[in-house]
């Protein structure tokens, strides 16, 4: 783990995106971290431009301009650039030996395999959702699904109208937690979000809502005869995901190579 006497150098890949900007804000407000690089893709017109908040960029060692290359190895690199930017971000982290924190969803099987391969060389933490509340909700869902194994399980998620993947990565992760709690393979019980009709016994269903500027809402419903339990999380501020990712980067930097999970931050 890194020496806490000096701020941990963290680079942000995709720094001009919505999540990238949130990450920059959170890093600059976190005394244990400094912004090592605000990275954009090669050829981006933002390269060389000043990162907003000039006063914050005056901190010693803080990156004040967007860059399309990484000249020095940061302790950690965070990316939420999506499937299109994921490969370049992971390659940078591996090349520089930096801890890699990824929040991209909708990744392909080959990209997920690349995460596993990278974990042999650097510490890697991928999560579909960096809300600390979602991390706790996931554990609650796993326990509740195990205790109520014969109840129906339905997961409902809502996001802004521009979100591409559906169901969300978080909804799928909650479904996997429910399946793990019941000791069954997720693929054997997951119902397609678009499928109508009766639910089979033990099936985990998904429903998707897209519209407006919803940051993220997830509800897990366990339904029995005459009663039901609803476990829910609603995000109203995108910065919660950035705060969780920065906390993960601070925790991950300097650890041994391997795959880590957000829940590891709370390990007793």
Show which residues are catalytic.
Answer: 159, 163
Please tell me what DSSP assigns to residue 46: T
Q: What is the β-pairing status of strands 216-224 and 227-235?
A: antiparallel
Which position has the token pair 């006063």? 55
User: Residue 11: exposed, middle, or buried by beta-carbon count in 10 A (0-12, 13-18, 19+)?
Assistant: buried
Residue 121's SS3 state is: coil
Backbone angles phi, psi at 61, to 5 degrees: 80, 0
């Amino acid at each position: 783990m890194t020496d806490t006497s000096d701020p941990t150098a963290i680079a942000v890949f995709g720094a001009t995106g919505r999540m990238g900007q949130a990450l920059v804000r959170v890093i600059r407000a976190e005394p244990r971290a400094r912004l090592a690089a605000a990275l954009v893709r090669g050829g981006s017109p933002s390269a060389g431009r000043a990162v907003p908040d000039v006063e914050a960029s005056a901190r010693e060692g803080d990156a004040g301009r967007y860059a399309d290359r990484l000249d020095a190895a940061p302790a950690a690199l965070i990316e939420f650039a999506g499937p299109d930017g994921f490969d370049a971000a992971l390659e940078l982290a591996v090349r520089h030996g930096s801890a890699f924190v990824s929040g991209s969803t909708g990744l392909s099987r080959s990209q997920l395999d690349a995460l596993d391969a990278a974990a042999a060389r650097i510490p890697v933490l991928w999560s579909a959702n960096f809300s600390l509340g979602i991390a706790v909700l996931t554990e609650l869902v796993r326990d509740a699904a195990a205790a109520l194994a014969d109840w129906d399980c339905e997961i409902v998620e809502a996001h802004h109208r521009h979100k591409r993947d559906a169901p969300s990565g978080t909804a799928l992760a909650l479904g996997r937690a429910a399946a793990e709690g019941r000791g069954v393979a997720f693929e054997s019980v997951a119902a397609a979000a678009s499928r109508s009709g009766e639910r089979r016994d033990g099936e985990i269903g998904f429903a998707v809502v897209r519209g407006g500027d919803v940051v993220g809402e997830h509800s897990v419903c366990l339904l029995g005869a005459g009663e039901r339990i609803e476990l829910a999380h609603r995000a109203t501020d995108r910065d919660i995901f950035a705060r969780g990712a920065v906390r993960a980067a601070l925790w991950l930097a300097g650890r041994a190579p391997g795959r880590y999970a957000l829940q590891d931050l709370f390990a007793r």
